[in-house]
Amino acid sequence: MAAATLTSKGQITIPVQVRTALGVDAGDRIEFVEIEKGQFAIVAATRSVQELNGLFHRKGRKPVSIEEMNAAIAMGASRSR
């Protein structure tokens, strides 16, 4: 298991085996995604939008309209308050 120590400035050094597994290097962005209360996943945020093309496409699934997207966002935002 990889471990790191938090400095007084709130910084950590990500262990080399974690950086390698994530495919990140100096200057790359990472995101901390809350999975559940008190647990986070570290995700490399270095991919371009072009690499995401087709990621969620499922054969036979109808595209979602902008209106449906906006409604889903509004519903999620109202739940988080």
Question: Tens digit of pLDDT for each residue in 48-68?
Answer: 666 666 666 678 878 888 999
10 in a structural domain: no
Whole-Å CA distances, 22 to 16, 64, 79, 80: 10, 31, 31, 29
1 in a structural domain: no
Split into its structural domains, the chain has a count of 1
29 in a structural domain: yes
CA separation for the pair 19, 50 (Å, rounded): 23
Q: 76: how many CB neighbours lie within 10 A of its CB?
A: 9
Which domain does 66 fall in, by range? 16-79
pLDDT tens digits, 12-39: 999 999 999 988 888 888 988 888 899 9
For the whole prediction, is pTM greater than 0.75? Answer: no
6 in a structural domain: no
30 in a structural domain: yes
70 in a structural domain: yes
Strands, E assignment, the chain: 30-36, 39-44
3 in a structural domain: no
